[in-house]
């Protein structure tokens, strides 16, 4: 969430009205239009998946969260409430799907960055002004945007099929 | 990726471009699809895990793991 390992991160976990489960992670002190080591220092990161019955989640120190999956094959459905520096017991945000006893299966995860303001624009003015990102005209906040991302995969599959039909007409 | 000769795991990273759909294009989101299939014709217990870390370390940002029986 920052190029600075000493920057403090804050985070949350929730499920949207369209049943998309997500961790949201952000730099506590947002630095608009700033970067550190080629990483933007503002905006909210979303790490999401479908909130299926088999899903478990956990946030916490990397050894705890990954350790829970290694030991139990699932996560504790718990949140770490100790907001701290990124490098302090490296907080990680886990999502786990139990596919059960199967011959085939799959899971889809989404990673995204929601910034309310993406650029500064001067135009003919002597000063720059922040410009809101286009997505904010469609969705009121990042969690609404994440909630609607599922439809994209179906759309892409349809596009891919149409492109294939064009290139290889049968 | 194979787990011995019992299960195959495919991981696809997709950052889509939809020039005909500005609404979708306006989202800065990428997709990670994990696909598993049995190689030996038998069922297997599969649990998947994926995480992100709050910061880059050892150049790792997304971690993926699978439990397969």
pLDDT at A1 over 90: no
Q: Percentage of residues in chain B with pLDDT exceeding 90?
A: 30
7-66 of B, contacting A, C-beta below 8 A? 14, 16, 18, 21-24, 26-38, 41-57, 62-63, 65
What pLDDT sits at residue A116? 93
Q: CA dist A3 to A30, A47, A86, A88, Å?
A: 12, 18, 10, 14
Between CA A15 and CA A23 the distance in angstroms is: 9
What pLDDT sits at residue B56? 61
CB-based contact B60:B29 (threshold 8 Å): no
27-46 of A, contacting B, C-beta below 8 A? 39, 45-46
Q: Percentage of residues in chain A with pLDDT exceeding 70?
A: 87
Place of tokens 């916490």: A60
A152 touches chain B (CB under 8 A): yes
pTM: predicted TM-score of the whole model, two decimal places: 0.87
Q: Percentage of residues in chain A with pLDDT exceeding 90?
A: 67
Provide mean pLDDT across the span A69-76: 96
Secondary structure of residue A42 in the 3-state scheme: coil
What pLDDT sits at residue B59? 43
Mean pLDDT of chain B: 85
**φ, ψ for residue A62 (rounded to 5)?**
-55, -40
Nearest CB to B37 within list A103, A114, A134:
A103
Between CA A101 and CA A109 the distance in angstroms is: 21
Highest mean pLDDT among A3-7, A29-33, A159-163: A29-33
Provide mean pLDDT across the span A90-108: 94
pLDDT digits (tens, 9 = 90+) for A108-163: 999 988 999 988 999 999 999 999 999 999 988 888 888 877 555 545 555 555 55
């Amino acid at each position: 969430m920052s190029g600075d390992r000493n920057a403090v991160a804050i985070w949350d976990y929730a499920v949207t009205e369209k049943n998309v489960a997500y961790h949201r992670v952000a730099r506590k002190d947002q630095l608009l239009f700033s970067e550190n080591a080629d990483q933007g220092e503002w905006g909210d990161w979303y790490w999401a998946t479908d909130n299926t019955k088999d899903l478990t989640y956990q946030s916490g120190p990397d050894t705890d969260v990954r350790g829970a999956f290694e030991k139990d094959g699932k996560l504790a459905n718990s949140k770490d409430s100790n907001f701290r520096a990124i490098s302090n017991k490296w907080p990680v945000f886990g999502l786990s799907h139990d596919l059960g006893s199967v011959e085939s299966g799959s899971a889809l995860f989404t990673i995204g960055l929601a910034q309310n303001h993406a650029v500064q624009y001067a135009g003919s003015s002597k000063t720059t002004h922040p410009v809101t990102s286009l997505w904010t005209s469609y969705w009121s906040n990042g969690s609404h945007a994440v909630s609607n991302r599922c439809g994209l995969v179906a759309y892409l599959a349809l596009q891919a099929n149409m492109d294939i039909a064009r290139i290889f007409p049968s | 990726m194979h787990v011995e000769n019992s299960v195959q795991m495919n991981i696809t990273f997709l950052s889509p471009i939809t020039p005909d759909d500005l609404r979708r294009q306006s989202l800065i989101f990428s997709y990670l699809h994990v696909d598993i299939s049995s190689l030996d014709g038998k069922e297997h217990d599969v649990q998947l895990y994926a995480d992100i870390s709050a910061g880059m370390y050892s150049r790792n940002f997304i971690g993926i793991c699978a439990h397969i029986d």
